Structure 1
Amino acid sequence: MSFFTENHYWAGRRCQKALYFLAQEAPATSFAVWDVAEQRRLLRLAAPLLPGPITVIAGDMETRLRQTQQCLKAGQAMLEAVLAHDGWLAEVDYLGPHPHGGWQIVSVIPQTTISPTARQRLAYQAKIVKAAGVDLVQVGLVTLNPIYCRAQRLDPSSLFLVEPNSQVGFHAVGELEEALDAYAQLLRASAPASIPLGPYCEEGGDCPFKARCWAGQLPEHNIFHLYQLSRQKAFKLYQAGHVSLQLLPKNLRTRNREAQLYAVQTGRPYVDRPALREFLGRLEYPLHCLDFETVNAAIPWLPGLSPFNMVPVQFSITHVRAPGAELEHEAFVCTGQSDPRAPMLDRLKSSLGNRGSILAYNAAFEQSVLESLVRWDTVRQSWYDSLRPRWVDMLEPFKNFYCYFAQQKGSCSLKEVLPAVTGRGYEDLAIRDGHQATQAWLRLLFDRLSAEEEARVRQDLMAYCRRDTDALAWLVQALRAWV
């Protein structure tokens, strides 16, 4: 038997068309409200704080449904229990007997506060659990303690805050009945609902089906690509029929937008050669192209950390000794077994030397990472101060429209600029963006990987970080060709 899940519920809350598309997907696209793997790590860590003994429900869905019923009959507490009602499934973090009779559920959330999303998730689970015939008398939440600071050993009893008698899950239960019935009808429909483009396509991040829905409804260069136009204004213009950039109203034209229109209309890049020449003239060789990868883990993995503290775990530097010279690369990758910050600072001091421009894309981020390292090791402050005049932000020529390529589609993101300017991208890599890099690092730090798998993930991370720094060198080479 096929079931509808919480994933379908979140898709339906977002958009009826997304819900229909999700029903056609196998395996299903995720509409998870937070990282499932990280939430599961927290659940296992919090389990000893919950009333036991606890049985972990595992296996395929049919097996998990059967095991859940067996534990209910035996009065046995469970992790990752599964219950079903009228075609809908609920996967519950913790389901256990209440000391005074009936049952209780607890949801472990990777947040330091109880968000509306957490409330709605708990309401969904409470609705299905009660409808499945369980005498549910209490719902609870486990959140992360924002002021917890790890000592030498991790202390789960201090890391987590347990709210055993939360009412947040019961308030919205009554509202769910009609919604779930309506979603079930949509899921069984023979065609998707007719839903216009709207802000809901992007709220909380782009809908996984945005590209499919928008394809064919917009010209290649459209109002949603207009530089620095708010999404609210873009949707209003779209609804008023102002879709193509070619028909941009005069009151919306600025210097940078005129440059954008020039590239779109002529098919040639817009180049402000004097500005570009001045920018490139500030570069001092050797160039040191720098990029960091950081981790903001929910679980503090080093002494002195609190939940979601940022720690740099990797850097890549691409050196260019002179114009046209071969690219030279070096990298630092955290072992995960010890604090990486001191050895990282040592390597950076050696690698960056005392001359040459330090290039970064959106350099404020790389500077903030270095500042955090220096705050942790104040002996390096004078060295860090000596770097200040050497920083060059490679975002500058694209943000300020010293050059613009139509393929950027209004974006100054490196992921858009690199292929537009150089024809190279990230498609050949296993890890292609920062989110995937973060997930890979969390696996290295917290999951038990085989030696072979760990080596592969590390290689993938090194390749991704190197692409970011090689990209800066390639951009410099391409920009020089235009002046």
Structure 2
Amino acid sequence: MIYPFRKFLPEWVSTLFSLKRPEGEIPKLTKADYTTGLHCEYHLWLNTYQRRSDFDPYEHQYISPKQKSRLRDLSNSFYPDSKNVRYSESETRKILTSGKGVRSACLETDKFSIKTEYILPNEEKPGTFEIVALKASTSFKKQHITEIAFQKFVTEESGFPVSKCTLIFVNSKFPFQGEIKIESFFVRKDVTEEVALKDKETKESAYSLYDLLSRKNLPSRYVSRLCSHPRNCSYPEICLTPKVPGDIFTLREGKEESGRLYDQGILHLKDIQEIESLTPRQKIQIQTMRTGLPHTNQKVFNEFFGKLKYPMYFLDFESINPPIPVYQNSFPFQHVPFLFSLHVVREDLSREPESFYYIEDGIVDPRKGILEKLQEWILPGGSILCFNDKFERRCLEESAAAFPEFKGWLKSIQDDFVDLAKPFWEYDYYHPDQKGSTSLKTILPVITGQTYKNLEIQSGQIANSEFLRAKTEPMSESEKSEIEKNLIEYCKLDTYAMVLILRKIKEWIEKPL
């Protein structure tokens, strides 16, 4: 559902924020601008002329520029005769005019600019060209068609007719055996017909968005599709003024319901009166916001704790999932664990647990190293606690598939797994400060007061990218050691956090709230 929060924005907002286009040349519309503008016209205009100081263009990109560069280097083997023009517009024109192909191509008109991996002469239709776009993905998506349609439009506006469009993406089933064979590693898909269906729409949208950029003030009329959810809005102080929502959009699984309530003028969960149609979790949220007190289902936690057995093993993995596999017998984008933390409570939860960890040593495949250590340290018959155990289970199963000698041990502990996240996911405990979230990093400070704020690495995504950088890019030994230390500290806190949370659960059982 798309929420039209502001069909018309009052003119006073432009005055209040001095949202005016700087004097000078209007920037050309790029592919990134085009896709941004299709999502939200205000986002495009504000990003261009009033960009936030903390704006990070790579914030939501999970593939590093280095990994993308390596993919491009591999795909070059498909087109060995293409000349690398390093995104030079003049060189691109010169070589295409001579009837030859280019890679790292760039074309511009007076209004538009594109960069693309390849523009090649289409030998099947002399005098026309093929655009080839490389995507760090395992399938083609609607967004890819939108992007290549814009590239085709600008290429043709630049005077080079396009008769074929091709997408290259990664084959997720490619088994890495130490060598990349590009014919089976990549998938090349002809998307000419899909792109042609968007020709008219693309041209109209491109000129409309360029017209938007040419305006001197933030447009007062709001005609874009807008955000799928206001929490995704990059400029809420503009787009949602003056009716700024309180916590209404933290309603769990409440996209449509939150939008409906917002349209009725309800900005806070505590102000919702009609709750009969809401889910049990949504009702719990509203109750806690009204009282300011947490909700605890004592019965569920009694049963949860009653099923636990000593010794208790608290387990967490960190993994990488690069598009180009690093380890033998792995696949593109497969999560391969490189680090685990294990805290062990033998018989008394109030005592400090034993702490173990393993991190890839650069000699042994980390999956084998992890399985060897865990087989030594985790014995059948206890309780293995994870926060969302599906991930740890999958890592172990896929690791044992690569090293089948550990399948017997893994089978012997399968019934010992306990998902500590489950009662929190079900809102058997919920605190108003959670704001709808049930992540470990939200639960820990709410229940114990401890946080991840003092760590250099504070998320699994950063851990993933930092280890991959240390594994595949040149750096000093001291920098590698620092990254390794930070990774271990982060992973250890994940498992110790579970110990602290379980202690709190034990307190609730012994001294009911």
Query: Share of identical aligned residues, percent?
Result: 25
Equivalent residue in structure 2 for 1:262, among 287, 298, 317:
287
Change (3 A) 1:401 1:107: closer
User: C-alpha separation between the residues in 2 aligned to 1:363 and 1:336?
Assistant: 27
Map of 2:174 onto structure 1: 148
Check conservation: 2:118, 2:132, Cα contact below 8 A. Answer: yes
1:239 match: 263
**Alignment pair present for 1:86 and 2:121:** no
- The one of 67, 74, 95 aligned to 1:45: 74
Partners of 1:95 and 1:337 lie apart in 2 by 42
Between 1:271-280 and 1:5-14, the stretch displaced more is 271-280
Which residue of 1 is the match for residue 151 of structure 2? 125
Asked if structure 2 preserves the Cα contact closer than 8 Å seen for 1:17 and 1:194, the reply is: no
**2:241 is the counterpart of 1:200:** no
1:90 Cα deviation after fit: 0.7
| 1:37-85 Cα shifts (integer Å, max 9, x gaps) | 3443321111111141532506xxxxx4455455556666433222222
Question: 2-side partners of 1:240 and 1:34: how far apart?
Answer: 37
Structure 2 gaps, min length 5: 1-24
Query: What RMSD in Å do the two structures reach over aligned CA positions?
Result: 3.4
**Could you tell me which of 12, 26, 29 is aligned with 2:57?**
29
The count of aligned residue pairs is: 475
Q: 1:95 matched to which residue of 2? A: 119
Aligned partner of 1:324 in structure 2 is 350
Q: 1:208 to 1:52 in 2, by over 3 A?
A: farther
Which stretch of the first structure deviates more once superposed, 194-203 or 152-161?
Answer: 194-203
Alignment of 1:320-359 (within 5 A): 320-321=345-346, 322-335=348-361, 339-354=365-380, 356-359=382-385
Greater alpha carbon shift after TM alignment, 210-219 vs 323-332: 210-219
Partners of 1:201 and 1:210 within 8 A in 2: no
Structure 2 matches for 1:59-458, cutoff 5 A? 64-69=88-93, 71-72=95-96, 77-99=101-123, 100-163=126-189, 166-189=192-215, 190-191=217-218, 200-202=227-229, 206=232, 208-209=234-235, 213=239, 217-222=243-248, 224-227=249-252, 229-246=253-270, 247-253=272-278, 255-321=280-346, 322-335=348-361, 339-354=365-380, 356-458=382-484
Asked if 2 retains the 8 angstrom alpha-carbon contact of 1:319 and 1:329, the reply is yes
Question: Any unmatched runs of 5+ in structure 1?
Answer: 59-63
Residue aligned with 2:29, SS: coil
Query: Matched residues in 2 for 1:148 and 1:417: separation?
Result: 38
Higher alpha-carbon deviation: 343-352 or 257-266 = 257-266
Alignment check: 8 A CA contact 1:51 1:96 kept: no
Tell me, yes or no, if the aligned pair for 2:37 and 2:209 is still in contact at 8 Å: yes
| Alignment correspondent of 1:61 | none
Deviation at 1:155, TM superposition (A): 1.0
Partners of 1:215 and 1:421 in 2: how far apart? 34
TM superposition score normalised by structure 1: 0.84
Residue 172 (structure 1) shift: 2.0
Q: Is 1:199–1:235's contact at 8 Å kept on the other side of the alignment?
A: no
What CA deviation, in whole Å up to 9, does each residue of 1:145-189 have, x standing for no partner? 354333342211321233478444444233222212222233344
Q: CA deviation at 1:131?
A: 1.5
TM-score (normalizing by structure 2): 0.80
Q: Is the 8 A contact 1:93 1:106 kept in 2?
A: yes
CA distance in 2, matches of 1:413, 1:97: 51
Note closer, same or farther for the CA distance 1:148–1:399 as it changes in structure 2 (3 Å cut). closer
Q: Is the 8 A contact 1:111 1:144 kept in 2?
A: yes
Further displaced range: 36-45 or 400-409:
36-45
